[in-house]
Amino acid sequence: MRARIRSRGRSADASSTADQVVEIDAGELTGIFSAPGWLRDVGFTAWLLVGVALFLVGAVSLLSLTSTIVVPVITAGVVAAVAAPLVAGLQRLHVPRALGAILLLVLFIVLGALVVYLVVAGVTSQTHDITAKLADAKSTLAGWAKDLGVSADAAQTGQEDASSGASSAVSTLLHGLGAALKGLSSLVFFLAMTALSLIFLLADGPKIRAWGERHMGVPPPVASIVSRRTLESLRGYFLGVTIVAAFNATLVGLGALLLGVPLAGTIAIVTFLAAYVPYLGAWTAGAFSVLLALGGAGTDAAAGMVVIQVLSNGPLQQIVQPIALGGALGIHPLAVLIVTIAGGSLFGAVGLILGAPVTAAVTQISADLAKARKNEVSRDASDGEPDSPRSEPPP
């Protein structure tokens, strides 16, 4: 681009003019009106995040519409991933995989029925005592409130509210399970689909895994790493949860025995099973044990159970959990907490249980792929070096 600038200046000849020619390179104007590089990167990243958010929203909506089928299959897949070594062990004992899967399913059904019987029978046997002890507890709480300076009218109102809430709580605890079973019209279908899927996944697990690896759309070594790390993370997570559950159940069971609480074994079993539901299970098991302690041993024992539950699910668990889960998953306990809550918020109970193992699997898969890529680069570099001179063999 050329531009001519003419300016009139005084010189020896007043009529003379001086012309100035300015040349401008058009390429120098390229970046004047364009966005800076950092702004383009931010915009590109923002659109990627919007796409990921839309994908998650669509996935959650699709899963919610197909939850009747998806949730039983996911549940069976998790159980099959954890229980597959047992079927493999039976196969080494010359038991066919199909028969081993059926035997394992029968074992799960028997254990589930036994636990339900122990819990329901335990609560039913303590119904009268729980109601009586709750009546005594509300009087005790009203007396404590008066000792702390609360007026008699306020204490009486609180006692009446506590009475109403206690009756409602007992009724909900005793009849909530039966009402829930009647209200869930799809429960039978859920259990049937889960059992059927579990049998197929346990019996044909290696074939299904091989088929999935072939259809991942990635090289076979990468597909093998993805499937292997996913299974290892699931098994490691539930192994860590089992260790923590056994620790809590032992501590709570021994505490119930020392306090003279009836059905200490049932309390230990409920505490053990509730540990498999992150964070929410501890509250349920704690309320169950405190209510049984109140009905069977009185207010002091119930207060003792509250202390034991707080210690076992708080400071003492924090000693065991990092060792169990951190060693099994390879991620920090704070990361386990964050991804568990985030998974539960996005995907409900499935995300609550699978958030930590899936995150651990992704982390380990990324580390394995990065390590493999680094080894490949190092190997290519070593192959490109000239051969070192070799000494001639002696004559």
Tens-place pLDDT, residues 99-139: 988 998 899 888 888 877 877 776 676 666 666 655 655 56
Q: With contact defined as beta carbons under 8 Å apart, do 222 and 244 qualify?
A: no
- Provide the number of structural domains found in the chain: 1
Higher model confidence: residue 95 or residue 123?
95
Q: Is residue 38 part of a domain?
A: no
| Range scoring the smallest mean pLDDT among 88-102, 119-133, 146-160, 258-272 | 146-160
| pLDDT at residue 8, as a whole number | 53
Q: Is residue 319 part of a domain?
A: yes
| Range scoring the smallest mean pLDDT among 10-24, 70-84, 123-137, 369-383 | 10-24
Give yes or no for residue 97 having a pLDDT over 80.
Answer: yes
Q: Is residue 317 part of a domain?
A: yes
| pLDDT at residue 176, as a whole number | 47
Q: Is residue 312 part of a domain?
A: yes
With residues binned 3-state (H G I as helix, E B as strand, rest as coil), the percentages for the chain, rounded to 5, are 80, 5, 15
| pLDDT at residue 20, as a whole number | 65
Q: Is residue 384 part of a domain?
A: no
Local confidence band at 180 (pLDDT 50, 70, 90 cut-offs): very low
Local confidence band at 381 (pLDDT 50, 70, 90 cut-offs): confident
Q: What percent of the chain has pLDDT over 90?
A: 1
DSSP state of 13: S
Closest by alpha carbon to 213, among 196, 200, 230? 230
Q: Is residue 172 part of a domain?
A: no
Question: How is residue 100 written in tokens?
Answer: 């081993």
| Range scoring the smallest mean pLDDT among 9-23, 203-217, 270-284 | 9-23
Local confidence band at 173 (pLDDT 50, 70, 90 cut-offs): very low
Q: Is residue 341 part of a domain?
A: yes
For 275, the domain range is 216-373
